[in-house]
Amino acid sequence: MTRREPGRSRASGAGSLRDDLLRISRELLDEGGPDALSMREVARRAGCTHQAPYHYFANREAILAALIEAGFDELANRLCEAHDLAETEDLRTVAEASGNAYVEFALTNPGVFRIMFRRDMCDPARFPGIQVASRRTYDELGRLARIRFGEHAIREHETALWASVHGLAVLLLDGLMADEFLALEDRLAYARRVNRLGCEVMLDRDGSGEQGVSGS
């Protein structure tokens, strides 16, 4: 006879418990950062036995790895959607949409975003899913560089574009601007204004903002 975890109904399947564990882990990261996340606390909030999470995740690092992989996948999807606009919109619209997608992901997923680029959270070599998902994100950044600078775009172009949006996200999450803009909507609105201005400065140097996009 299969024993049910406390607090779980018969209708709740393994998939739903795993999803609940990840959702709760995200909430813990948002509330208190990595130090707030433990297997025992996740189990307590999920209303299951302390051993139940180990049926899905070998340890705390495995939960962090699953969250990081999902984070990169979601970020890549958002960037892809923005870059697909290149088929119908001008370069300025694409660049703004890309920057907004990046910062909006960071601000609406603060706990996960903060750990995605930290090597001390988990070893990517032990979690191939992270390598695949992060590669998708970096490929999208490379795609934007090619849209902006053409097929001869180099890594420095990608890094310059990445640094601008990543830096803005960090400033609004944990920098001095975090205290200046307390509400999420205020941060998002400010980020959109900064992205718009940044695109004007970058693209108006050579008039690229007036051209259609064909490099996607």
* Model pLDDT for residues 165-184, shown as the tens digit of each residue: 999 999 999 998 999 999 99
CATH class of 65-210: mainly alpha
The pTM (predicted TM-score) of the whole model is: 0.86
What pLDDT does 200 receive?
A: 87
Closest CA to 60 of 32, 21, 31: 21
Query: Given pLDDT bands bounded at 50, 70 and 90, which one contains residue 201?
Result: confident
Say how far apart CA 104 and CA 40 lie, in whole Å: 31
Can you tell me the distance from the alpha carbon of 28 to that of 30, in angstroms, rounded to the nearest whole number? 5
* pLDDT band for position 14 (cuts 50, 70, 90): low
Higher local confidence (pLDDT), 202 or 139: 139
- Whether pLDDT at 55 is above 80: yes
Query: What are the sequence ranges of the domains in the chain?
Result: 14-55, 65-210
* Architecture (CATH level 2) of domain 14-55: Orthogonal Bundle (1.10)
- What residues contact 21, with CB distance under 8 A and at least 6 apart? 42, 46, 53, 56, 57, 63
Three-class HEC string of the chain = CCCCCCCCCCCCCHHHHHHHHHHHHHHHHHHHCHHHCCHHHHHHHHCCCCCHHHHCCCCHHHHHHHHHHHHHHHHHHHHHHHHHHHHCCEHHHHHHHHHHHHHHHHHHCHHHHHHHCCCCCCCHHHCHHHHHHHHHHHHHHHHHHHHHHCCCCCHHHHHHHHHHHHHHHHHHHHCCHHHHCCCHHHHHHHHHHHHHHHHHHHHCCCCHHHCECCCC
